[in-house]
Structure 1
Amino acid sequence: MSGDGAGAGGPTVAGVMGLLAAGGGRLLDGRGLNSSYRVEWAGRPLSVKVHCAERSSATEFRRIGRVDAALRGAPWYPPVLASGLHGARRPRLVVVRPYAPGEPSDDARRQIAGVVDVLAQLAARGREVAADEELVGDYASVWLSGAREERSGVEPLLTGRWRGLGAAMDEQLPGLCAAARRLTRPDGLRVHHGDLHGRNLIADGSGRLTVIDWDEAGFARRPADAGKALWLSCRLGRGDFVLDPAATGRFLSALRARLDVPYADAGDLARLGALWFLPRRCHVTLLGRRGADLGDWYLGWVGRFWAGFRGNLELVTDVAAALEARSR
């Protein structure tokens, strides 16, 4: 299966994968499940994303293509130049895009305005799309459809030093799912990036931003991108989860102004975003295959999130209440 979409002389999946096999590309750093490379094609720098075999399918191929059709022309969107399933024994989805020069921000709080601008445009583009149900879903979907099974699946991993993580899941999961359901709108389809935060907005020095890492793109009926971006764009540092009150206020104010998100929804939005930080057995297992220490790294990372969740959630609701009072 292929959807290369390349003109004469343009990149093809087979050609780009041949370059990589011959050592003609550079593997980029990252702890994700998929692999990113930079290659040169006819003097043009390209970004190549090779999805892991377990997450490569005809449905994923269609999802990436449908999102691409919805977003083409957006100034911050790098269009798909070629895509397809590559390999006979364990086919992998390969997606080729223009390489975005520049650097991500070391402090995601600086990118809050850009993040919310993209969120608003993703919502607007989604209103013009009719997507098949198999292309609709986000990180909350699996918990809403099968929380008990997901919780049971991760149980064998949550022993020893990870027992506290299991206790946090049991305490918080019902409230998180209830919040996600409250924010779900059957007619509220929007394009879903899946990992929208400041580190995925690349600035080239001239003020132009490019949004990268479209691995998890699809469509959603709740503000899943906004919920996740709240946690990833308003924290004091990348390694920890202590929210900055001032940044949280800017984020919630921008959401209200650009997407008409009421301040009263801030607590539910934070709970929705928190679903992304619940460990899943399949995710830990796949990370472990990439590196022996990545599974433990991931559990430690989400463990730090849940250690500070109560205090951070209280901060979000307090900031929202103050903003609401000021707006009256």
Structure 2
Amino acid sequence: MRGTAPPTVPGVVALIAAGQAELLDGRGLNTSYRVPWGGRSLSVKVHCAERSSAAEFRRIGSVDSALRGTAWYPPVLGQGFHGAERPRLVVVRPYAPGTPSDDARRHIGGVVDVLADLAARAQGVRAEEALVADYASPWLEGAPSERSLVDPLLTGEWRGLGRAMDTHLGELRRGARRLTSADGLRVHHGDLHGRNLISDGPGRLTVIDWDEAGFSRRPADAGKALWLSCRLGRGDFALDPRATGLFLGRLRTRLGIPYSGARDLARLGALWFLPRHDHVTLLGRRDTSLGTWYLGWVLRFWTRFRANLDLVARTAAALEAGAP
């Protein structure tokens, strides 16, 4: 009986196909559902066909092994491939009840605590090279190719994105390289910010959306979280000086990231906001409006980048001057 049996990929897919699942909002490449199973709710992520691979299967499984037992982590209950012609990876986890926050600044303490746990959980983990990558990897390993591929998409109103890439790419790559350590393996969530921290009462927190999970040799989660956790509001990228100071201070205390590295941390995180051809085109295939929405979103990031980078540098310098 379904009430006592553990969830299976064929079982949850059948419920989705029968219209017995709730489609959850999202603008990513993958599709999320809330599925009833034996009196409880499951979170089911159906990955797009282009991102469904044996390596993704192993990546999610390896991260799951490293993080099982962590209070804020929803473990994998089942995963497998569905479909014959274009198999899609399906991942089943417990559904996290609670509320995400529209103001990620409220979760800075929780975000940094999770970052510290991710670094600690990687101690002693041995990950195959195919599972070690993050959003910076394509730009460090093949920037000319990535830039050339996306260029045909950056016409008309998006020409400013091309100019931003040409202006900043070199310094972003140099900053990311300075933060890369051959021995510094850490578990990588890939999209750690307030909306992915679900609160269900005081002290109860669940981290969701493990689509991009893997391993990294850079503080890539911290770099991206700096931009997504310290901005004044969603949809814009003006950093809040107070939140930025709180974030950098907690990073220094919990992870030992020095204030002198704050500017490079911001450069590393900024690589995530560079448009990539495959990402933009896959978004457009899912919904024609998503590709243009995404380009406009990242363009707003780059219009404020230099002023925000200077704010990070000033904040870090002030913190360092007052540090004990």
TM bin, normalised by shorter chain, reads: over 0.9
Match of 2:304 in 1: 308
Q: How does 1:155-304 map to 2 (within 5 A)?
A: 155-304=151-300
For residues 160 and 140 of structure 1, the distance between their equivalents in structure 2, rounded to whole angstroms, comes to: 27
For residues 141 and 159 of structure 1, the distance between their equivalents in structure 2, rounded to whole angstroms, comes to: 25
What is the Cα deviation at residue 44 of structure 1? 1.0
Q: Deviations over 1:223-259 (max 9, x none)?
A: 0000000000000000100000000000000000000
Contact 2:4–2:38 under 8 Å retained in 1: no
For residues 4 and 40 of structure 2, the distance between their equivalents in structure 1, rounded to whole angstroms, comes to: 15
Query: 1:110 and 2:123 equivalent?
Result: no
Contact 1:176–1:275 under 8 Å retained in 2: yes
Match of 1:31 in 2: 27
For residues 30 and 7 of structure 1, the distance between their equivalents in structure 2, rounded to whole angstroms, comes to: 29
Contact 2:186–2:215 under 8 Å retained in 1: yes
Determine helix, strand or coil for the equivalent of 1:311. Answer: helix
Please list every run of 5 or more consecutive structure 1 residues that lacks an aligned counterpart in the other structure. 1-5
Query: 1:151 and 2:147 equivalent?
Result: yes
Query: 1:121 and 2:117 equivalent?
Result: yes
Determine helix, strand or coil for the equivalent of 1:293. Answer: helix
What is the Cα deviation at residue 92 of structure 1? 0.4
Letter in 1 for 2:177: R
Please list every run of 5 or more consecutive structure 2 residues that lacks an aligned counterpart in the other structure. none
What is the Cα deviation at residue 60 of structure 1? 0.2
Query: 1:21 and 2:20 equivalent?
Result: no
Q: 1:60 aligns with which of 56, 63, 69?
A: 56
What is the Cα deviation at residue 207 of structure 1? 2.5
Query: 1:92 and 2:88 equivalent?
Result: yes
After TM superposition, the score normalised by the length of structure 2 is: 0.98
For residues 167 and 3 of structure 2, the distance between their equivalents in structure 1, rounded to whole angstroms, comes to: 54
What is the Cα deviation at residue 128 of structure 1? 2.2
Change (3 A) 1:150 1:41: same
Match of 1:3 in 2: none
Query: 1:133 and 2:125 equivalent?
Result: no
Determine helix, strand or coil for the equivalent of 2:133. Answer: coil
Determine helix, strand or coil for the equivalent of 1:240. Answer: coil
For residues 113 and 64 of structure 1, the distance between their equivalents in structure 2, rounded to whole angstroms, comes to: 26
Runs (4+) of structure 1 exceeding 2 A deviation are none
For residues 106 and 147 of structure 1, the distance between their equivalents in structure 2, rounded to whole angstroms, comes to: 33
Determine helix, strand or coil for the equivalent of 1:325. Answer: helix
What is the Cα deviation at residue 105 of structure 1? 1.2
After TM superposition, the score normalised by the length of structure 1 is: 0.97
Q: Deviations over 1:194-233 (max 9, x none)?
A: 0001110000124300000000000000000000000000
Identity over aligned pairs, percent:
74
Q: Deviations over 1:35-72 (max 9, x none)?
A: 00001011110000000000000000000000000000
Determine helix, strand or coil for the equivalent of 2:92. Answer: strand
For residues 228 and 19 of structure 1, the distance between their equivalents in structure 2, rounded to whole angstroms, comes to: 35
For residues 232 and 127 of structure 1, the distance between their equivalents in structure 2, rounded to whole angstroms, comes to: 26
What is the Cα deviation at residue 290 of structure 1? 1.0
For residues 136 and 288 of structure 2, the distance between their equivalents in structure 1, rounded to whole angstroms, comes to: 27
What is the Cα deviation at residue 8 of structure 1? 6.7
Query: 1:40 and 2:72 equivalent?
Result: no
Determine helix, strand or coil for the equivalent of 2:288. Answer: coil
Contact 2:259–2:316 under 8 Å retained in 1: yes
Contact 2:3–2:38 under 8 Å retained in 1: no
